[in-house]
Amino acid sequence: MTMTRDMERTLDKFDLTREDVARVREVGRLLHDAFVVVVDEFYAWLSQHQEYRTFFGGNQRTLDRVKASQIEHWRAFFAAELDDAYIASRRHIGAVHAHIELPNDIYYAGMRVSLAAILRQLRAVDPQPANLLELEASVTKLAFFDTFLVADEISRIQKDKILVSSKALMEMSTPVTPIWEGILLLPLVGILDSARTQEIMNKTLAKIAETRARMFVLDISGVGAVDTAVANQLIKITRATQLMGCESIISGISPPIARTLVELGVQVGDVKTTATLRDALELALKAMGVDRQLQSSSPRTPTR
């Protein structure tokens, strides 16, 4: 058997020994004609549940194909060649289950039904093996290991989906937008954590480099709470923008947030802050000289 060191350690956790593998193969020889019966018992049970109608309906061809595949699954199980190919085949089952969104409860319950059917077939062997209890224990160990491999792959795929969705959501919730030549605005809404503040810094610095902005307004009026770690991260963002020649203003400092920052002892330093976004934009426009441009371009009222 060839497998990674990590998988060998996992087998140790399940207490699967070479003796267990030999006993599983022995059961396979004893039950070589019983796999069809085991699969039929499983589908007799499954037919009582909504998932049977959901995934098969009246499609007999699909049902026959899946039954044949399941029979081969159990043959491979009792061949017990626990190598990388075996591991990959079980993880493939998990990937299929994740793709069709098979409910976890029906999978775990189905494994229980199949294992019970296998043990019934084993106990019905005549003459009954002298080491019956050891055979049952070894088969149960491998069944648990099989279940783990499938469930672990489902979990991995679900985590990947969540990460992709979170990244997409983070991209949507971090819109660094030019609002005037040389001025960038980032309005934040929701919950801030270390991962999101790191994304904010990366996108902000990239946008400053792209637009050569000289003023950056970070509005946190839509943020519910700010703790010490997040506050310090926001200060770091403003200092990083200063290193790129871009001055920052944090707007939307509400009374609760101001009180929290004071109580937490966060050192704001020389970072400009305002209570409202309007105040911050006025400061930014003034720093860029835009207000003077607007005043000089506006029509003068004639004096008498």
Between residues 226 and 46, which one has the greater pLDDT? 46
Please give the Cα distance from 274 to 256 (Å, whole number): 14
Which residue, among 173, 186, 180, has the nearest Cα to 248 in the 3D structure? 186
Percentage of the chain beyond pLDDT 90 is 59
Averaged pLDDT of the chain: 87
Given CA atoms 222, 223, 225, 228 in this order, what sign does their dihedral have?
negative
Q: Over range 51-59, report the average pLDDT.
A: 88
Q: Please count the other Cβ atoms lying within 10 Å of the Cβ belonging to residue 207.
A: 20
Strands 183-190 and 215-223: parallel
Does residue 161 carry a pLDDT above 50?
A: yes
**Tokens coding 237:** 């963002």
Please give the Cα distance from 7 to 299 (Å, whole number): 79
Contacts of 272 (CB under 8 A, 6+ apart): 247, 248, 249, 250, 280, 283
Q: Quote the pLDDT of residue 86.
A: 92
For 225, counting Cβ atoms within 10 Å of its Cβ (0-12 exposed, 13-18 middle, 19+ buried), the class is exposed
Does residue 212 carry a pLDDT above 80?
A: yes
pLDDT winner (highest mean) among 32-36, 176-180, 214-218: 214-218
Q: Over range 257-264, report the average pLDDT.
A: 78
Query: 5-19, 163-177, 267-281: which has the minimum mean pLDDT?
Result: 163-177
Does residue 183 carry a pLDDT above 50?
A: yes
Contacts of 213 (CB under 8 A, 6+ apart): 178, 182, 183, 184, 207, 246
Q: Which residues of 96-112 are buried (b: 16+ CB within 10 A; e: fewer)?
A: ebbeeebeeebbeebbe
Q: Quote the pLDDT of residue 191.
A: 79
Does residue 293 carry a pLDDT above 80?
A: no
pTM across the whole model: 0.62
In order of start, what are the domains of the chain with their CATH numbers? 5-167 (1.10.490.10), 177-297 (3.30.750.24)
Between residues 44 and 258, which one has the greater pLDDT? 44
Q: Quote the pLDDT of residue 304.
A: 45
Does residue 168 carry a pLDDT above 80?
A: no
Q: Over range 126-153, report the average pLDDT.
A: 95
Looking up tokens 């106990």 gives 123
Q: Over range 64-74, report the average pLDDT.
A: 94
